[in-house]
Amino acid sequence: MSGLIPPSLVILSGAGLSAESGVATFRGADGLWEGHRIEDVATPEAFKRQPELVHRFYNLRRAGLKTVEPNAAHHALVRLEREWPGAFVHITQNVDDLNERAGAMKLLHMHGELGKVRCVWCRVVLPWQDDLETTTPCPECGRTGKLRPDIVWFGEMPYYIDEIMRVLEKADVFLCIGTSGVVYPAAGFARLAADHGCQRLIEVNLESTGISNHFTERRHGPATVEVPKLVDELLADVACGKV
Ligand code: OAD
């Protein structure tokens, strides 16, 4: 890393970041996928086959967002975003809006957003807070049955991939919070950053994951405890040139 260019920081977050706000994670005992088969609710084929079921699943989750608030980890990451002297990007797999509600600006929703819908006919993407039904007309083209949640489903290409690859290749610090590391391409980001020279890779999780061996530091504990501590450390380290 050059002493003249401030270090660049890339964050990857997953469901563990929002878990303590009350948003269910995907895997594990009470995980979202425990109650549903992925192929029934999170694939383009499921939407063709049973759009009502898919809408019901995402309507419940969209409504659930109104009952949760950002937690100490979301707020700490916004402090990091504001105070980090170099390039900063937060890539999230989460489809909630808790980072934005905490004040995040430099955020890439690689798996889409619950608070948006997309028309598969005219391709318009619109903010959406209410329930979506198969009879809801697209406000842009007027067709019914064409609006879908703006969520990246299994078998679809994640958003912002070119931009994500570019920032990972330049990362000096890579921070990964609350992801099980089983869904690609996100699960491969730590290795990709390391292959391109990233020297400091930090994983925050309740437990070891299948990708823990790609990290130079592992912090085990709840995100609301570990992330604020880590943000203090990183800002202190970068201020005295230790990063
Ligand atoms: P998972 O549910 O697979 O994993 C959540 C991770 O967070 C686990 O490793 C937990 O140990 C950890 N965790 C839980 N609570 C935590 C806490 N309070 N503090 C720190 N860590 C905690 O969720 P993701 O890895 O985000 O994709 O899942 C990745 C993708 O799989 C999702 O974006 C979604 C899903 O299928 C799509 O829908 C396309």
Predicted pLDDT at 117: 98
pLDDT above 90: residue 33: no
CA of 82 to the centre of ligand 1 (A): 25
pLDDT at 196 over 90: yes
> Which atom of ligand 1 is nearest to 94's Cα?
33
Question: Where does the pLDDT of residue 34 fall: very low under 50, low under 70, confident under 90, or very high at 90 and above?
Answer: low
Judge whether 111 counts as a catalytic residue: yes
Decide: helix, strand or coil at residue 100. Answer: helix
Name beta bridge partners: 17. none
Q: How far is the centre of ligand 1, averaged over its atoms, from the C-alpha of 4 (Å)?
A: 36
Amino acid at residue number 180: S
The string of pLDDT tens digits covering residues 168-186 is 999 999 999 999 999 999 9
- Above 80 in pLDDT, residue 32? no
* Cβ contact 113:211 at 8 Å: no
As a residue count, the chain comes to: 243
* Sheet containing 147-151, strands listed edge to edge, beginning at the edge strand earlier in sequence: 125-127, 112-119, 147-151
**By alpha-carbon position, which residue is closest to atom 38 of ligand 1?**
153
By C-alpha distance, which of 210, 196, 135 is closest to 1?
A: 196
Output the residue whose Cα is nearest ligand 1's atom 22.
16
Task: Return phi, psi of residue 209, to 5°.
Answer: -125, 175
| Ligand 1 pocket list (CB less than 6 A) | 14-16, 19-20, 25-27, 31, 42, 93, 111, 152, 178-180, 183, 204-207, 209, 222-223
